[in-house]
Structure 1
Amino acid sequence: MAEKASGTLSDIEREAVKQRAKELREQAKAGKNREAGLKQIQEAIDKLDGLDKQIAEAFRALVLDVAPDLMPRTFYGFVAFANADGKVVVYYQPASKFKTRYGTISFDDPAHLDDGDVWPVSYAVLAWNADIEKKFRALVKTAAS
């Protein structure tokens, strides 16, 4: 468990909040600049190693191919993609970020994955292969529609 820096947030959590504040400042400067977003996510991927990096790279390529209208950006340092309103639709949270045993691909509220009264929005990803890519191609396509 991460050391508590204050009564409420761990050191890792405080760093994530600082990262998010920095992202928001950078995004405000860049506006809706696709190239700036691509640069941000590449910088985030470059900080990763091993499986986290492999999944982040495959995830980026998949979203850019399946949902080219989504805007690349970072979200708490994660590789993410947002809709035209600037709201994050989908992102990859690497295992290394919070020292968890697996990374996740998650869909936020703007994703159009609604399926009755309950549906999955976050997926543990332990590998990347053709079957997993096929599953996420379908999910991202639906989420972005």
Structure 2
Amino acid sequence: MATAKKATKADKSYDGFNAEERAAMKEHAKEMKAAKAGADAEAEVLAKIAEMEGTDRAMAEKIHAIVKKHAPELAPQTWYGQPAYKKDGKVVCFFQAKAKFKTRYATFGFQEAAQLDEGGMWPTSYALTKLTAADEKRIAELVKKAAGTA
């Protein structure tokens, strides 16, 4: 008869997430607690943007300004430690710095609450390496449509 092996903490741990992913989940838990406590969500977003470096910061600042100007009904709030914009408590769009997960490009993306449905298929995120005037105009159009104001 085999003896039962006592499970250790190491046996129960799951190593499927990398350090950046685990950190993002911890940040999300803190964000949820801060929201319940009535924290100043926009100040948190601006603080996260200020922590970014180089092109990540420049793009996040531009996107924040675009969202504030073209879809003021979207409320800024951090989401997994990154700037996001919500409507009716649901994330509509977000910016993810390339440094967050050590990727080649930053991402500007949309969640299910975004009203971007177009036919049977449409993009839900865009890779960003820099923002041109044409890119900024396109983002403004997408943000207005996503918020339901276009």
- Give the TM-score taking structure 2 as reference length: 0.88
1:99 alignment partner in structure 2: 102
Instruction: Give yes or no for the alignment of 1:15 onto 2:23.
Output: yes
Instruction: Give yes or no for the alignment of 1:50 onto 2:58.
Output: no
Amino acid at match of 1:121: T
What is the alpha-carbon distance in structure 2 between the residues aligned to residue 125 and residue 14 of structure 1?
24
What is the alpha-carbon distance in structure 2 between the residues aligned to residue 134 and residue 106 of structure 1?
16
Instruction: Give yes or no for the alignment of 1:111 onto 2:114.
Output: yes
Q: Deviation at 1:38?
A: 1.2
2:83 is paired with a residue whose SS is strand
What is the alpha-carbon distance in structure 2 between the residues aligned to residue 103 and residue 45 of structure 1?
13
1:73-115 per-position Cα deviation (integer Å, ceiling 9, x unaligned): 00001111000x2100000000000000000000000000000
1:133 alignment partner in structure 2: 136
Amino acid at match of 1:133: E
What is the alpha-carbon distance in structure 2 between the residues aligned to residue 6 and residue 48 of structure 1?
30
2:68 alignment partner in structure 1: 64
Aligned pair count reads 136
What is the alpha-carbon distance in structure 1 between the residues aligned to residue 66 and residue 41 of structure 2?
16
Amino acid at match of 2:38: A
Amino acid at match of 1:55: M
1:30 alignment partner in structure 2: 38
Amino acid at match of 1:115: E
Whose Rg is larger?
A: 2
2:92 is paired with a residue whose SS is strand
1:79 alignment partner in structure 2: 83
Q: After TM superposition, what 4+ stretches of structure 1 lie above 2 angstroms from structure 2?
A: none
What is the alpha-carbon distance in structure 2 between the residues aligned to residue 109 and residue 28 of structure 1?
23
Q: Deviation at 1:18?
A: 0.3
Q: Deviation at 1:129?
A: 1.8
Q: Deviation at 1:7?
A: 2.0
Amino acid at match of 1:94: A
1:142 alignment partner in structure 2: 145
Amino acid at match of 2:82: F
Greater Cα shift, 113-122 or 5-14: 5-14
RMSD across aligned C-alpha pairs, in angstroms? 1.2
**Unpaired stretches in structure 1, ≥5 consecutive residues:** none
